[in-house]
Amino acid sequence: MIRVLLADDEPLVRAGLHLILESAPDLAVVAECRDGREALERAYALRPDVVLMDVRMPVLDAIEATRRLLARSLAPPGVLVLTAFDADEFVVDALAAGAAGFLLKTTEPRELLAAVRTVAGGTSAIDPGALRRLADAQRRTAAPRPGASVLDALSEREREVARLIADGQTNAQIAAALHLALPTVKTHVARILHKTGADNRVRLAIEVLRAQS
């Protein structure tokens, strides 16, 4: 059973998310929280597998809550951030703090359930459309960076895997698409992250999308 902690300051949103999550036989909501500080306290006490929280909350936002949670926990949960915005600067900060991924609040219920399972399994979950718009927003505001593309250091197979990561594909989906064994995909992903210096799949995906534009 995957244990999920919910954090959102809007009661109706929490209620809706609770119903969606509890509709799955393998998921259970262990707590609902109204702000980041409460989420942090309950996460320390309950040790859920996944913390699903809104990026903008009172008292303590998801960014600082994620940073503190991952810093103090020996076996931290996967943090999945929800945002109502396509290109929210807070999302980048949340990912830098260690969040496993992010979804838009317009995400379909089945995609939300799949994302929670993915994060519980130790893999990042990202909304592909939002990721592209986020990469576009960063490209427009960032200073030009001379030099080689992030893809130049990769082999042809690694580039294929990196592009599929940028499309929001999980390791299992990449394995199916490229007709590879799952352990082989995991090895490719680890090498790609090492070669590019990306600290997680989401950062890598943003860099790949920027390189392709």
pLDDT in tens, 43-54: 999 999 999 999
CATH of domain 2-136: 3.40.50.2300
Asked if residue 95 lies in contact with residue 202, where contact means CB atoms within 8 angstroms, the answer is: yes
Q: What is the pLDDT of residues 82-103, one digit of tens each?
A: 887 655 566 677 777 788 888 8
10-47 in b/e burial notation, b at 16+ Cβ within 10 A?
A: eeeebeebeebbeebeebebbbbbbbbbbbbebbeeee
State phi, psi for 3 to the nearest 5 degrees.
-95, 125
pLDDT beneath 50: ranges in the chain = 146-147
191 Cβ contact list (under 8 Å, min separation 6): 158
Global confidence as pTM: 0.75
Identify the residue whose tokens are 């064994």: 181
Copy the structure tokens of residue 153.
């250091």
Q: Which segments of the chain belong to CATH 1.10.10.10?
A: 145-212
The secondary structure element, H or E, covering residue 82 is strand 78-83
Architecture of domain 145-212: Orthogonal Bundle (1.10)
pLDDT at position 146 is 47
- In the chain, CATH 3.40.50.2300 covers 2-136
pLDDT of residue 142: 54
Can you tell me whether residue 73 is helix, strand or coil?
Answer: coil
Q: What sign does the dihedral 85-87-88-94 (CA atoms) show?
A: positive
